[in-house]
Structure formats: C-alpha cells, structure tokens
Amino acid sequence: MWIFRRYILLVLWLAIADFLFAQEPDTSFTSLNEIVVSAKPVLDYKSQTKPLSSLDEYMEKMTNVGLIKRGNYAWEPMLNSMASERIAVTIDGMHIFGACTDKMDPVTSYVEVSNLKEINVSSGQSGASSRPSIGGSVDLVRNCHEYTSSGWSGAVNFGAESNASLVSAGAKVKYANHLFFTEANFMFRNADNYKAGKNTLVNFSQFTKHNASLTAGVKVAESQTLTASLIVDNATNIGYPALPMDVSLARAFITSLEHTAKAISPAIEAWNTKVYFNTLKHIMDDTKRPNVAIHMDMPGNSETYGLLSNAIVNVKKHKFIFGISGYYNRSLAEMTMYPKNPLEKPMFMFTWPDIRTLYLGLNTKDHWMINAHHHLNYSLHAGFQQNKIADEKGLQSMEIFYPKASPTKNRFLYGLQAGYTFEKNGFEVTFGSGYGERAPSVSEGYGFYLFNSFDKYDYIGNPDLKNEKSVDANVGFVYRNNKVKVNVNGNYFHIFNYIIGAINPALSPMTIGATGVRQYTQLPFAQIANANLELSYKPIWNLAFKGLFSYSYGTDNKQAYLPLIRPFSFRFNVNYTIKSFDFEVATEGAAKHYAYSENYGETATSAYAILNLSAGYKLLLPQYQLYVKVGVENIADTYYTTYADWNHIPRRGRNFFVSLSFVFDKTNRCH
C-alpha cells in the first residue's frame, strides 16, 4: 500500500513523533495514527502536542485537511478544499449523515479521539470505494482488538485548559482473553465561552459533550470473529457564535455488527462483512440569543442503515480488494417559527422533506507490486443511487419551485482511478489520475429555504441537478535519508457540473435578514488545486525540525474565486527530547487571504502567525505508564481569524493546558 501513501493517506502533522518515540511501548489508547502499511511504527497520542485535544484539533494538523469553524465545537472538515458535500466521511466505513441542515454536526462531531486508532484519508477517487465523492474520503478507524490473554487493562485521562475553562476527562476499561474481548470507553468535555486574542470574550461558544463507546467481540471459530459496537454521543448546550442559533441537543447512536474471517484460503487474506445502523438527532435552539427576530424550532433527524462487505485477495503480486457497499438514509428536518403575535398560528415547513437515499455500489481495487521499485494501483467503482421525497407535503412544497418535480430520482455513479509510484535510493515519485461522480447532497437536491449565515442567502435545493463529475490528477516527489526528508506534492481537480447556489432575484427570502434566495445550480466547471511542501530535518537523534507549507487555489468557470479556499499557510515546529522529557516550539500562520469569493460573502482575512510551546514528561514502567504534558498556545494572545472561520469569528487567544494520562496496560497493539 506504500504506493497509495502519498495521496491516499494524509499524515498527521506530528508524525515527527515517529522519529522521536519509535522505541516506546505502545499502549494503543487515544492514539491517532496515519495508516502506514510499511514497517513504520505507529504514532502514539501521548506524544502529541496536546494529547486530549479534540478530534477536530487533530485533523486540523493534517495535510490537505481544513476545518470550517462555526464555534469551538463540531468543526466541519474539508479535504482538498472541498467540504461535506464533496467528500465522504465515515466511521469504520460506516456512512453517517449529519442531521443538521446548517452543517452544525459533521460526522466527526459524533466520535471521540479516544475511540479511534487512526484517520485514513484518501484523496480524490482513490477514496471513493464505498461512496462516490469528488474530493476524497476520510475514514475514522476505531480501535482494534486482538484476542490475547491480556486480561484487564485501562486508562484514565484528564485534561484542563485555561481558555474557556475547558475540562476533558475520560476513562477506558478493557478485558481480553483468547476468545473474547470487551472495551468500554467514556469521555466528557465541557467548555465555557472561549476568549479570542486580546482578551475578547466570544459569547455562545460553550459546549458540553459526553461520549460513551462499547465494543465486544467473540471468536466464533478459528480465524473468525464477530464484533458488536455501540457509540453513544450526547452533546448539549453547544454554542455556535458564528451562526444565529445554537444547539440544545446533538445525539447519536451508532451501532454495528461485524463478521471477520481471516486467511480463508491462501489467496483470500480476509473477508469482512458489516451491518450497521445509526440515528442522529439534532435540535437547534435560539432561546438564549438576544434580539431574535423570530423564535424558531429546527429539529433534524438522520437515520442510516448500511451494509459493507470487503474481501482482500492476493494473487501473485496483486492485492485485490472487492467490495460491496449499500446504505439507506432517511433525512428529515423541519422548522417551526413562532410569530410575535401570539394569536397567529406557528409557521411550519419541512426543510428536508423526509428524503430517502438508497445507495448500492460495487468497487474493486488492485495494488500491484510490479517489483521493488515500481508499484501500480487502480480502482473502479460503480453505484446506483435513488433519492425519494417520502413526504407528500414535501413534494408539494418542492413543486412550488419545480412544478414537474418527481418524487424519485435515480442515478448511476461511476469512478475509476490509477496511480503509479517509482521509488529508489530514497527517492520516490508518484503520479495518478482519476475520474469520479457524485450525486447532490440532500440539501443541494431538496433543501428548502436553508439559511446560509455566511453569504446571508436562503438556499433552495434543486432535484433536477445532474451528477457532478471530476477529473483529478496528482503528482508527488519525496526524498529522504536519515536526516532529511523533502516531500512536494500537488493535486488538481477539474470539476464539471459544479454544484453551487446561484442568486434567483425573482425569489423572496424566507429568513428575516436574508439578502435573497439562491437556488442550487451547476456551473459548467470549476477547478481546484492544492500544493504542499513538507521539509523535515533531524540533525541529531533527539532534535527535529519540520515545516509544512500549503497553498490552494479554486476558481469557477469565469475565473472567479471559489469560497473557502486556503491561502498560503505554514506550520513549523522544533522538537527536542532529553531523557523522559520532550519539548516543542511550534508556529503556524497564513498569508493574507486575497483570493476570496466576494460572490459568496467572503471578505479578506489578514495574515497572522501564532506561537505555541509545550513540554512533556513520561514515566514508563512495566505495569503502568504516566504521561504529563503542559503547554501554552497562542502565547502572544494574537487576535486572528482565518479563511475557514465562519463569518470571521476570531480564534482562541492564549491558552494554557495540562494533560495527565495514567495507563495500566500491557503492550497489546493490533493492526
């Protein structure tokens, strides 16, 4: 899989720790790794700059990943400068669709870092195996388990931060023997309003989150296991300072049952089959906001039933993956507004009129190790998608805009991709290309007066949208020796039938304060390019320098800039280790965002840079380990905002943090 690596898997920024802590025993708790199929050691969370940071903070440090912030919680991931509609975010391959019409609950908000082993990021079509996407896919891979007689183990984690009085506390208990394992994991986080730089309080930025996860597995036969898992995530009182509303409840039940058979035959390495179900509930709340023009209730629900089955087959120098994927989603959201005059009846509309999405797809991949220097990989996928407006009233509402709207819409979605890697003497060259298609999202197809507080327009879906199609290309170059690593890579997406909202001046906005109405439509094309340069230098074994420079570019068919495209930005850090102590100095920043989209309500953001410091101590004993980390972020208390901050809400100011992890565990790492 090495061949995939440059483009398929994005590396956590702090992979530098690989160099530093390669020898340390792995306790597989709360650690997030890049997927590495080569012999590279896994990355341990305790070596992270801030061990108990949120999943969002982890993801922010990944190359080609951006996060749209609407507050201090539930940031929306972007990959290759593309947000939710164009990427597929899954948990262990399971499809989950946010229940919020305003994207307040990306899939990533329903899991905890402590549930996850790694984040598997696939760029472009290489990731489109289980669901068609344009920009790629992000799979949050949960902790795995081995059937060893390790008995009881566990950990206790605690973190505190000065800014927002953030408290994180978690615990894990695990039991395993050669036939059975079970793991229970609990995490609690609570934050008050945070302060941006210059001691500026950001109101409505608080949140409370409880996450519990339970997994149990049993060996049903030699090389066959059955694993059941449940995640319950319950977040309450979540403020969204960039939006006109908050969330009183965001709740998820995520369940799955998986059967795994390994080494079925000399050729069939493994066969995994999973059935899953998840249900999300999202309740927005404006009761705490002052001067609300009109009070409204906006609940949303999303339920998904799915099936996944993958077989890994080795034939000579080929490693094939054959898969089927299917899911059925139900998305329903509504809005009830309460007029100031109590004699008037409440005003009601479906914002997602009970949309059912059925997807069935087939996919295959081959990784062909031609020889030690040449690798080739290619994949194909094809799927059928049906959307249906299940609610008759919803269809009638849609007919106001589309008199010929049909309750069902069927599409076929295809994709293919090929990549090549050549490596020799520390040099590595990769290039690849792909073609893919995606169906419009529920909001793009069927959303009804969804207010976008960024450009201040109400958005109306369009059930007649054609498939969006993309041709992408990527190229990368790596050089490494034992002191230096240079990695230059870039990708380009040419997207046809690019789906975006266009102003319809004939329509009157529904939301009080909205400028107008946009209807989803398609541009002939748009183009997006991303480039990264990573440099690492390790003059001596315990000192490392690392720099990352990123730039993205996106325009529509008229050369107008697309919204939410990252300007030139950088990260730089220095790590030093001595005995049981490690130290890090890190800086990050961005140039002025001049390539902003005026059409979509963007304005320029200024250049900025912030400085972070941290220090860690670890005590490693055979029966238990203790990790302590302290640090300060944004030391200068700089007031700043970035291209990805919704309505330019400022980011956090100075923040001191401390985290403690006490782990009683025996070495037990699985793959």
Partner 1 sequence: MKRILFMAFAVLLLAVSSCKKENNNKASETEDLTQIQEVSNANFSVEIWGVKSGFETGYNDIYFRVKDKTSGVYLQDASLSWYPEMHMMSMSHSCPNSTIAKMNGKQTLYKAYAIFTMATNATEYWDAKIDITKNGEVSTVIPVLNVVASSTKKVASFTGSDSKKYILAYIEPQKPKAAVNDLVLGLFLKNGMGFDAVQNLNIEVDPRMPSMNNHSSPGNENPVFNPSDNFYHGKLSLTMSGLWKLNLIVKNANNDIIGGKAVTQTEDSNLYLEVEF
Per CB under 5 A, contacts with Cu ion among 265-304 are 284
102 binds, among Cu ion, partner 1, none (CB under 5 to 8 A by kind): Cu ion
Q: Which of 22, 220, 315, 346 binds partner 1 (CB under 8 A)?
A: 346
Measured from the CB atom, is 209 or 388 closer to partner 1? 388
515 forms part of the interface with partner 1 (CB under 8 A): no
Size of the residue set binding partner 1 (CB under 8 A): 31
Per CB under 8 A, contacts with partner 1 among 26-85 are none
Measured from the CB atom, is 490 or 509 closer to partner 1? 509
At which residue do the structure tokens 């997807």 appear? 359
Measured from the CB atom, is 105 or 468 closer to Cu ion? 105
CA 263, CA 327: separation in Å to the nearest integer?
28
Measured from the CB atom, is 266 or 403 closer to partner 1? 403
As measured in angstroms, the least distance from the Cβ of 93 to partner 1 is 38
Q: Are the C-beta atoms of 664 and 623 separated by less than 8 Å? A: yes
- CA dihedral angle for residue 455, residue 460, residue 461, residue 462, rounded to 10 degrees: -110
CA 118, CA 91: separation in Å to the nearest integer?
11
Q: Which of 201, 263, 512, 636 binds partner 1 (CB under 8 A)?
A: 512
311 forms part of the interface with Cu ion (CB under 5 A): no
Selected range binding partner 1 among 136-144, 505-513, 570-578, 627-635, rule: CB under 8 A: 505-513
222 binds, among partner 1, Cu ion, none (CB under 5 to 8 A by kind): none
Classify residue 13 by its DSSP letter: G
Give residue 214's identity as a one-letter amino acid code.
L
337 forms part of the interface with partner 1 (CB under 8 A): yes
Q: Which of 220, 399, 524, 636 binds partner 1 (CB under 8 A)?
A: 399
100 binds, among partner 1, Cu ion, none (CB under 5 to 8 A by kind): Cu ion
Q: Please report, for residues 276, 282, 590, the alpha-carbon distance to residue 329 in angstroms, rounded to integers and kept in the order given.
A: 12, 16, 39
Alpha-helical (H) ranges within 76-232 are: none
Would you tell me how many other CB atoms lie within 10 Å of the CB of residue 341?
Answer: 7
Q: Which of 59, 104, 164, 644 binds Cu ion (CB under 5 A)?
A: 104
Residue 2 — left, alpha, or beta (φ > 0 → left; ψ -120 to 50 → alpha)? alpha
Per CB under 8 A, contacts with partner 1 among 584-643 are none
Q: Are the C-beta atoms of 521 and 501 separated by less than 8 Å? A: yes
Q: Which of 60, 76, 85, 102 binds Cu ion (CB under 5 A)?
A: 102
3-state secondary structure of 615: strand
Binding mask 236-275 for partner 1 (x = CB under 8 A): ----------------------------------------
**DSSP β-ladder status, 457-460 and 516-540:** parallel
Nearest alpha-carbon partner for 309 in 321, 323, 292: 323
Q: Are the C-beta atoms of 449 and 459 separated by less than 8 Å? A: yes
Q: Which of 218, 324, 471, 507 binds partner 1 (CB under 8 A)?
A: 507
Tokens of 75: 């940031």
Selected range binding partner 1 among 334-342, 362-370, 608-616, 631-639, rule: CB under 8 A: 334-342
Selected range binding partner 1 among 24-32, 475-483, 509-517, 609-617, rule: CB under 8 A: 509-517
Selected range binding partner 1 among 23-31, 347-355, 600-608, 609-617, rule: CB under 8 A: 347-355
Tell me the torsion sign for CA atoms 499, 523, 350, 394: negative
505 forms part of the interface with partner 1 (CB under 8 A): no
125 binds, among Cu ion, partner 1, none (CB under 5 to 8 A by kind): none
Tell me which long-range contacts 57-63 makes (C-beta under 8 A, separation of at least 24).
58/12, 58/32, 58/113, 58/119, 59/108, 59/119, 59/138, 61/12, 61/13, 61/14, 61/571, 62/10, 62/11, 62/12, 62/13, 62/119, 62/121, 63/10, 63/11, 63/13, 63/532, 63/534, 63/548, 63/550
Nearest alpha-carbon partner for 380 in 143, 132, 188, 587: 132
216 forms part of the interface with partner 1 (CB under 8 A): no
As measured in angstroms, the least distance from the Cβ of 286 to Cu ion is 11
Measured from the CB atom, is 148 or 396 closer to partner 1? 396
Give residue 541's identity as a one-letter amino acid code.
W
3-state secondary structure of 648: helix
Measured from the CB atom, is 284 or 405 closer to Cu ion? 284
Tokens of 348: 């009601």
284 binds, among Cu ion, partner 1, none (CB under 5 to 8 A by kind): Cu ion
Nearest alpha-carbon partner for 665 in 170, 154, 114, 44: 154
3-state secondary structure 418-468: EEEEEEECCEEEEEEEEEEEECCCHHHHHCCCEEECCCCEEEECCCCCCCE
238 forms part of the interface with Cu ion (CB under 5 A): no
Residue 559 phi/psi, 5° resolution?
A: 65, 15
As measured in angstroms, the least distance from the Cβ of 388 to partner 1 is 18
Q: Terminal CA-to-CA distance of the chain, rounded, Å?
A: 14
Kindly write down the DSSP assignment for every residue of 55-114, as one continuous string: HHHHHHTSTTEEEEBSSSS-PEEEETTB-GGGEEEEETTEE---S-TTS---GGGGS-GG
Q: Which of 222, 290, 291, 340 binds partner 1 (CB under 8 A)?
A: 340
CA 200, CA 221: separation in Å to the nearest integer?
60
Per CB under 8 A, contacts with partner 1 among 412-451 are 448-449
As measured in angstroms, the least distance from the Cβ of 519 to partner 1 is 10
As measured in angstroms, the least distance from the Cβ of 633 to Cu ion is 28
Binding mask 162-201 for partner 1 (x = CB under 8 A): ----------------------------------------
Measured from the CB atom, is 519 or 527 closer to partner 1? 519
As measured in angstroms, the least distance from the Cβ of 642 to Cu ion is 22
Q: What is the largest CA-CA distance in the chain?
A: 79
Selected range binding partner 1 among 142-150, 341-349, 468-476, 588-596, rule: CB under 8 A: 341-349
Measured from the CB atom, is 348 or 581 closer to partner 1? 348
484 forms part of the interface with partner 1 (CB under 8 A): no
As measured in angstroms, the least distance from the Cβ of 280 to partner 1 is 24
Selected range binding partner 1 among 29-37, 343-351, 356-364, 495-503, rule: CB under 8 A: 343-351
Measured from the CB atom, is 399 or 598 closer to partner 1? 399
Q: How far is CA 520 from the centre of its chain?
A: 24
Size of the residue set binding Cu ion (CB under 5 A): 4
Binding site for Cu ion (CB under 5 A): 100, 102, 104, 284
Binding site for partner 1 (CB under 8 A): 293-294, 335, 337, 339-341, 343-350, 393, 396-397, 399-401, 403, 448-449, 506-510, 512-513
